[in-house]
Amino acid sequence: MKYSGWPDPGELVVGKIDEIEDFGVFVDLEEYEDKRGLAHISEVASGWIKNVRDHVREGQITVCKVLDVDESAQQIDLSIKDVNDHQRSEKIQEWKNEQKADNWMELAFGDEVETETYTTIANELLAVHGTLYDAFEESAIHGADALSDTDLGDDEVDAIVDAARENVSVPYVNVTGYVDLENPTASGVDGVRTALEAGAGNGDVPDEVDLDVTYVGAPEYRIQVTAPNYKTAESQLEASAERAITAIESEGGTGSFHRERHTDDE
């Protein structure tokens, strides 16, 4: 997706070097429609420059910092030297991600979708998630809930979620904890089983989370959680342990949570 407006001073932009002159470099902005900027020779690299072509080449993709924008003069002043390696790498990755998201939009709505329709949908996603890539990633993880704050129709939401879940590789993390469950009361094993079912969520675990409770060795049980991020994983782990402990205590038993597995010599 290319923006129709103008970049802001201080913004990092991706551009393709289109023309090299003795006084500087002309750069076509890849993220903006019909926008071209100039990096003066003094902004191409640090130190004295004898030959601009020693530092850049035509057709090269680069990252520039926007120094100034004069819309009336149709002029954008850029700096290549003011972008460090980390910023350059991060911005290029962000740009590549948005290109992927553009492809996912085509998969969701067809490559012949009208520009106005595309823009309306994209703006809804950008308003809520900041980037198209983040919108698709969140849709892959959370489904339609990720788009609940948009004004998109049900068909549009379904199309985005379907495309996201078919194409987005979602990073997942794993965390593990343990609960000790003891029940000396009359309910005995049945009470422990009830506590384990509570710990497993009784079918009420978010779709993006995989939670499994398994036997280790009496009275110890392992809780394993797979989730899109550590915050969610840790929250679900603690919630699982709390449910199990509450359930076993309601049976008259006792329970405790710990992060490391107990060994026989402890």
User: pLDDT tens digit string along 61-117?
Assistant: 999 999 999 999 999 999 999 999 999 999 999 999 999 999 999 999 988 888 888
Long-range contacts of 16-23 (CB under 8 A, 24+ apart): 16/59, 16/60, 16/61, 16/62, 17/56, 17/57, 17/58, 17/59, 17/60, 17/62, 18/58, 19/58, 20/52, 20/53, 20/56, 20/57, 20/58, 21/52, 22/52
> Does residue 203 sit within a domain?
yes
Instruction: Please name which of 86, 70, 75 lies closest in space to residue 39, comparing C-alpha atoms.
Output: 75
> Does residue 4 sit within a domain?
no
Q: Same domain for 160 and 96?
A: yes
- Domain limit, last residue, from 83, 98, 132: 83
> Does residue 244 sit within a domain?
yes
**pTM across the whole model:** 0.64
Token pair of 28 as six digits? 């076509």
> Does residue 266 sit within a domain?
no
- Domain limit, last residue, from 167, 200, 232: 167
- Domain limit, last residue, from 122, 138, 167: 167
Number of independent structural domains in the chain: 3
Q: Same domain for 148 and 191?
A: no
Tens-place pLDDT, residues 29-43: 999 989 999 999 999
CATH of the domain at 199: 3.30.70.1130
Answer whether residue 266 shows pLDDT above 90.
no
**Structural domain containing residue 136:** 86-167
Q: Same domain for 236 and 178?
A: yes
